[in-house]
């Protein structure tokens, strides 16, 4: 079974407060894009074993790998006693905030379900994904998705018209734990929030935080601290907007910056503003229907 594991960008991200469980309450708009990793998954009979291989030597193949953990969780949930072998081809930069590891884990779960003919219902799949990471459940939907809670409470939204997208990786990652810690120090007024038992879009008030009928502008609360530490990222965002981007922002806690354009000409123009040595990924946004069609290669 061969699959594509797509990347995501955040069209806006608000940190609401810190929760009693130690996590932060956020509201965000996810959008899947065509940039992707590739997975090849095969199953065999007993004895039980999991093997994950990656073409990037920086990616661990054992329990520290999110794909490995996804295979473990799925095997336990479905009482699968056989062997699982995953080959992972990386293109999404590590530590970029583009959701590479989460997308890989979600694709692994989808591939295992289809290969084994033993599918989880949506609620069980979302619950399993949330155990792996906050960004994993969005990849069970694709397209444009509202994320609440830690980001794992996801609600599919209607798609906007397709756009060209440019993702830029400066060559270094940003620790999510560091970014949350710095954001908390920069905004001490963040209140301790109570974890919702039955979250919903109306309760979180997310409709007032993000533009839902257009592509921008995007506001990401991590920009305050990440841009202060790496001002070259803030400068890049300003250049992308001047080049005609409808929306430009840090994605997740960084370090990648993205821009959305309504024409290939504007994207090409913006590409000339990228600092030498930074990785650029010209791509496009994916609607939910495209995402569902293209996941299974």
Q: 89 falls in which pLDDT band (50, 70, 90)?
A: very high
* Largest distance between two CA atoms of the chain: 58
Nearest to 203 by CA among 155, 157, 133, 168: 155
The pTM for the full model equals 0.93
Query: For 22-65, how does the pLDDT look when each residue is reduced to its tens digit (9 = 90+)?
Result: 788 999 999 999 999 999 999 998 999 999 999 999 998 899 99
Spans of all domains in the chain: 1-297
Q: Which of 8, 14, 237, 266 is catalytic?
A: 8
79/123 Cα distance (integer angstroms): 18
How far from chain centre, in Å, is Cα 262? 22
Q: Which of 135, 153, 221, 237 is catalytic?
A: 135
Mark whether 262 is an active-site residue. no
Mark whether 135 is an active-site residue. yes
Average pLDDT, the chain: 91
Topology (CATH) of 1-297: Ribosomal Protein S5; domain 2 (3.30.230)
**pLDDT of amino acid 198:** 45
**pLDDT of amino acid 211:** 78
Query: For 234-271, how does the pLDDT look when each residue is reduced to its tens digit (9 = 90+)?
Result: 999 999 999 999 999 999 999 999 999 999 999 999 99
Q: Is the pLDDT of residue 193 over 80?
A: no
Mean pLDDT of 60-86: 95
């Amino acid at each position: 079974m061969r699959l594509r594991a797509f990347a995501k960008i955040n069209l806006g991200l608000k940190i609401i407060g810190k929760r009693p469980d130690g996590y932060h309450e956020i509201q965000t708009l996810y959008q899947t894009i065509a940039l992707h990793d590739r997975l090849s998954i095969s199953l065999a009979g007993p004895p039980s074993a999991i093997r994950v291989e990656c073409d990037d030597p920086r990616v661990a193949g054992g329990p520290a790998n999110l794909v490995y953990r996804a295979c473990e969780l799925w095997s336990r949930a479905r009482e699968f006693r056989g062997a699982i072998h995953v080959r992972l081809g990386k293109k999404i930069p590590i530590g970029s905030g583009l959701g590479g590891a989460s997308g890989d884990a979600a694709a692994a779960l989808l591939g295992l379900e289809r290969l084994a003919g033993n599918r989880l219902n949506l609620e069980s799949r979302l619950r399993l994904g949330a155990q792996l990471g906050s960004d994993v459940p969005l990849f069970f939907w694709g397209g444009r998705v509202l994320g609440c809670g830690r980001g794992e409470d996801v609600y599919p939204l209607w798609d906007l018209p397709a756009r060209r997208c440019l993702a830029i990786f400066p060559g270094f990652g940003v620790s999510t734990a560091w970014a949350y810690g710095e954001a908390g120090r920069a905004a001490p007024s963040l209140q301790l929030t109570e974890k919702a038992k039955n979250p919903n879009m109306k309760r979180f008030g997310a409709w007032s935080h993000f533009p839902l009928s257009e592509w921008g502008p995007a506001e990401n609360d991590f920009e305050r601290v990440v841009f202060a530490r790496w001002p070259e990222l803030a400068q890049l965002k300003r250049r992308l907007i001047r080049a005609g981007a409808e929306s430009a922002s840090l994605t997740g806690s960084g370090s990648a910056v993205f821009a959305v354009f309504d024409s290939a000409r504007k994207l090409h123009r913006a590409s000339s503003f990228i600092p030498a040595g930074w990785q650029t990924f010209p791509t496009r946004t994916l609607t939910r229907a495209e995402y569902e069609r293209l996941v299974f290669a």
